[in-house]
Amino acid sequence: MVHVFTCAKVAIAQSFAMDVSGSLYGFGERGEVRQVAFAALAQAVAAISRLDAEISHNPLRNPWLRVEREMALAAAARETGFEADHQSIIAARLGALSLPRGHFQLGDLEDRARRWAPIAQRKGPAELRALVAKLAPERGVPDLVALAERVAKALGECSQSSWHFETDPLTGAPVLSSIPAPPGAVDVGDLALALPYALRRIGVTNSVVPGLVGRPRVFAREDVKPLDALTSWVATLERQAGEGASRLRELQGYAALVERQLAEVRRPAALRRLVAVALGNWSVWAAKLARDTRVEISSAWRTLEQAADMGLVVEVPGQRRSRGDGTLYAAPPWLRMAGLMSVRRGRPVVSVFRSDEGGALRDAIVELEVAMAAANRLVAV
């Protein structure tokens, strides 16, 4: 038996919980170290608050949450010691590839996602609700330091995740097999997924931001001082908030491109429905589009071809399809997040209008883009 990850001992976690507050607020650490920790806390809170405000009532909130949940599940799988690359997971969702053996599989991700889904309505397994309550025993107290202490303490009570090698009866080759946790137990992956709910419960965020899972295992390292562990943990939260904001801007850029392109189309209704289906699913094909929009499959195929010519959807690479109507298409942001399409650089190119009548609208779009870029710079500062 080889242990992938052994949770921190309860004594180490309790020692951290007792030492971090004292180290931060006046003894046990140098003054410059405490200043670094305070700066990290302030930056993390600012990044989280900006992201929480940006996604509030945002029309792209649902497609953004779709990818953020995948990021959170991948991070939780890595915390348990498994290989889980978020780009490979999204590529597999798109139908571009199959995950290799040894990688955390989509079925396992879906099982964990289904287990956590009812928690958003304050339902679901009692052990998960108890874990959230343990991390945030008091509502409306936005104290990240106290939350870090409770994460460290809960880490010492997690179940162990382990594996062992078995012999494949057909090939005789060694096969890696995981040992499931006992029923009703929570592991470090559950601890990571509980953090967004705890952040909402203590009032740091107004809604659940799935990507803010932190990195609980940093508190299990015996060679890291409590204040250094706290600084690393909040820096991870800041980084995750920044990455979530970047993915939201990617979707906003795509929405702006769609509006510019559809401004030139005489009858854009079918293309708008296609974009809605593409943002609501990882990939779309002619039969699915026909079923979801209640049109003939020939009409759906023509709409897909038109949208592909305009760059509103892109064919998913790596497919082995024999029929054209079975070709998978996806919104460009999904392909970029999966690493299957190069990331856009600089400002998007303004589309050329077919007549001079669009000059006023074109100038207005350019002026709006300049204003949005200036606002983004101010927010980043």
Q: What is the DSSP letter of 103?
A: B
Query: What is the distance between the alpha carbons of residues 51 and 212, in angstroms, rounded to a whole number?
Result: 11
Residue-wise pLDDT for 284-313, tens only, equals 999 999 999 999 999 999 999 999 999 999
Residue 83, classed as helix, strand or coil, is strand
User: According to the model, what pLDDT value does residue 357 have?
Assistant: 42
Rama region for 214: left / alpha / beta (φ>0; ψ in -120 to 50; rest): left
Q: pLDDT category, 172, cuts 50, 70, 90? A: confident
Residue-wise pLDDT for 69-120, tens only, equals 999 999 999 998 888 999 999 999 998 888 888 788 899 899 999 999 999 8
Q: Count CB neighbours of 333 within 10 A.
A: 24
Residue 180, classed as helix, strand or coil, is coil
User: According to the model, what pLDDT value does residue 129 have?
Assistant: 94
Does residue 314 or residue 374 have the better pLDDT?
314
Strands 174-179 vs 314-315: parallel, antiparallel or unpaired: unpaired
User: According to the model, what pLDDT value does residue 362 have?
Assistant: 55
pLDDT over 50 (residue 8): no
Mean pLDDT of the chain: 81
In percent, the amount of the chain with pLDDT more than 90 equals: 51
User: According to the model, what pLDDT value does residue 80 have?
Assistant: 87
- Give me the residues paired with residue 83 across strands: 103
Read off the tokens for 356: 């001079």
- Give me the residues paired with residue 177 across strands: 164
pTM > 0.85: no
Does residue 33 or residue 214 have the better pLDDT?
214
In percent, the amount of the chain with pLDDT more than 70 equals: 73
**Stretch 346-370: mean pLDDT:** 50
Residue type, position 353, single letter: F
Sign of the C-alpha dihedral, residues 167, 171, 175, 180?
negative
Asked if 94 and 231 count as a contact pair (C-beta separation under 8 A), the reply is no
pLDDT over 60 (residue 178): no
Q: Count CB neighbours of 93 within 10 A.
A: 19
